[in-house]
Chain A
């Protein structure tokens, strides 16, 4: 029995489907035929949650993360008993207060004072109980002068402050917090975090839905990652946050523009051309895999320069087959194709980057010779590294791979 006693909230095999009718605004005739044939409706079911199970122990600071549309909000509303699960069960022990939005029931035509009492009633406080708390609420919100003004005359910041000040009065065993920190200025956020700290100290059970991995890592001890209506990962907050970040890398990495056909600016004499350019990366490494082919005339001393630019078009890194750890000379006989591999370290801080490839004549002087094939924005990627690494690093390795069959490698772009 001890086992069940320290579970604050358990979700077992919860599924939720929404019915999406095809016609939302049908004609009168359709409406009448539907009245008589209610089962014959055209529509789809959207499965927002497909069997979710987990347990939150008492005193847990439990994170729920996932991309937009993954099913987080639906799950939250089911935990808050606002939605009914299609199947499955949610068991709550103790009083659960959801904060899906701050200031639920706030009315613009009531004064600040009246709204405080109304909002307090939503949290289950009687007038007497609110009387006792009123002064500290107003003080915390720093709105002493405005309490008899109508809410419609409040700025959005004042509204949030008032709502938050009432919300922290909530006397709950379990709190559901949804992105409430997404609004407000820096000093307000600071207050929120201070409140989180006290909640954590008081060993309250918190279920926290957020996109901010910083907050998840800092406050949560456990978390789940929701993806496509299922729990994709369950574990410590750090592990889940890492998994979450990977989701975005998986989506945005190696978008080789050359491969996807939406090439950037391309220019040059085309005596030597970039036929294939594949860019891949993970947290640690980046790889560039290219094939270059020569036209009818043999050409020696070819240089492939790679430039990585940040979103402001500033070059943050540049390297070539002549500048990495070993120099690889590119000399082409007529109609020859070569494959060149760059194996780089991922040293880029968070942000969006564009890759350009420039195939040109190498000369001893540090200026470029003839440009054969310049391809701007040939690939782009996002880096999610939140830590800037200040050490100086060797950008990577370079290798020239023999090509088994020239023909098969060549066809990717044509």
Chain B
């Protein structure tokens, strides 16, 4: 029995490793700058958004290190969308493989999320550089950042399992999810401080952060990593148990997603 578990997971690890390597090899295949694009893409996006929102629209002037917070928000949001949209098409893209060989199906979803995670780590190098340039003060609260990333990863992977499973039979989910993420991008207050929403209606700002772990982790990351002057859920919400709802939600989404994926995965080969 133990032997069986060992061989099963040994196989998963070997396959996962090889699929992640393949993903990375193929990601910037044929491009001249290759992996540099992993840095250049968020940098250019940042440059555009900074010009529009900070220089012209004068947003975030009152907040310390806002440009770094803006970049951090963009990088984390991109990570979240990469994990979810990658997971969405993970099963259908590997249809040929699923029909030819039996292997633990969750590997196709996880290999995509790991690729996204490695990309996030590369981007964090840029953020670190920006933090140094902007002279962001070091603080103990920065240690909370990996936990926040873990929470975002958990939530994203849970969504990836759900979306990937739905997409096998209902391809419209791709377009639906595209619209949802577009809306959630603005609802997550990435281009502007959450205070902009809170000033208009405090309850809306609270609800947006409570029901969306992606927004909560991004605002928390800004608060703990960049500057404690940046408001986040626990600074605008006093009731402590409401502030842990997004964490519980992430765990719940992950568990539901994993179970749903597991219950449907034996039929992927014939349903694709």
Contacts and interface: CB of A to CB of B under 8 A. Distances in A.
Interface stretch (B81-89, B92-100, B117-125, B240-248): B92-100
A110 B21 CA distance: 11
B101 A98 contact: yes
B17 interface: yes
B18 A118 contact: yes
A81 interface: yes
B150 interface: no
B98 A82 contact: yes
B25 interface: yes
Interface string B1-13: 0000001001100
B27 to A, nearest CB: 11
B101 to A, nearest CB: 5
B24 to A, nearest CB: 11
B266 A104 contact: no
A107 B269 contact: no
Nearest to B270: A83
A117 B102 contact: no
A322 to B, nearest CB: 62
A152 to B, nearest CB: 11
B15 A122 contact: yes
A124 B14 contact: yes
B102 A81 contact: yes
Contacts of B14: 121, 124-127
A280 interface: no
Nearest to A125: B14
Given A82-B269, A121-B17, A107 B22 contact: yes
Contact of B101 (A80, A84, A95, A125): A80
A406 interface: no
Nearest to A100: B100
What band does the interface of chain A fall in when counting residues whose beta carbon is under 8 Å from B?
A: 20 to 34
**Interface residue SS majority, chain B:** helix
A117 B18 CA distance: 8
A109 B26 CA distance: 7
A48 B18 CA distance: 35
B224 to A, nearest CB: 38
B44 interface: no
Contacts of B25: 110, 114
A95 B18 CA distance: 21
B186 interface: no
Given A82-B269, A83-B270, A109 B98 contact: no
B22 A101 contact: no
Contacts of B30: 109
A109 B29 contact: yes
Given A18-B270, A121-B18, A126-B14, A80 B26 contact: no
Contact of B11 (A31, A101, A114, A124): A124
Contacts of B101: 80, 82, 98, 100, 104-105, 122
B267 interface: yes
Contacts of A105: 97, 101
B37 interface: no
Contacts of B103: 122
| Range class of the B interface residue count | 20 to 34
Contacts of B11: 124
A161 B96 CA distance: 20
Contacts of B19: 121
A132 to B, nearest CB: 14
Nearest to B29: A109
A110 B23 CA distance: 11
A330 B260 CA distance: 81
B102 A80 contact: yes
A77 interface: yes
B91 to A, nearest CB: 14
A82 B14 CA distance: 19
Interface string A47-84: 00000000000000000000000000000010011111
Given A18-B270, A121-B14, A104 B22 contact: no
Contact of A114 (B17, B22, B269): B22
A98 B102 contact: yes
B97 A104 contact: yes
B242 to A, nearest CB: 33
Contacts of B270: 18, 83-84
Contacts of A125: 14
B22 A82 contact: no
A101 B19 CA distance: 19
Contacts of A98: 100-102
Nearest to B12: A124
A107 B103 CA distance: 18
Contacts of A126: 10, 14
Contacts of B29: 109
Given A110-B22, A114-B25, A82 B100 contact: yes
A121 B15 contact: yes
Given A105-B97, A121-B18, A126-B14, A82 B102 contact: yes
Contacts of B26: 107, 109-110
B62 to A, nearest CB: 47
Interface in A234-287: none
Contacts of B99: 77, 82
Specify which of B18, B29, B98 lies most central, judged by the most chain A CB atoms within 10 Å of its CB.
B18
Given A80-B101, A83-B270, 12 more contacts: A18-B270, A82-B100, A98-B102, A104-B96, A104-B97, A107-B22, A110-B26, A114-B25, A118-B18, A118-B22, A124-B15, A127-B17
16 contacts: A18-B270, A77-B269, A80-B101, A82-B98, A82-B101, A82-B269, A98-B101, A100-B100, A107-B22, A110-B22, A110-B25, A114-B25, A121-B14, A122-B101, A122-B103, A127-B14
Interface of A: 18, 31, 77, 80-84, 95, 98, 100-101, 104-105, 107, 109-110, 114, 117-118, 121-122, 124-127
Interface of B: 7, 10-11, 14-15, 17-19, 22, 25-26, 29-30, 96-103, 172, 266-267, 269-270
4 A-B pairs closest in CB distance? A121-B18, A81-B102, A104-B100, A84-B266
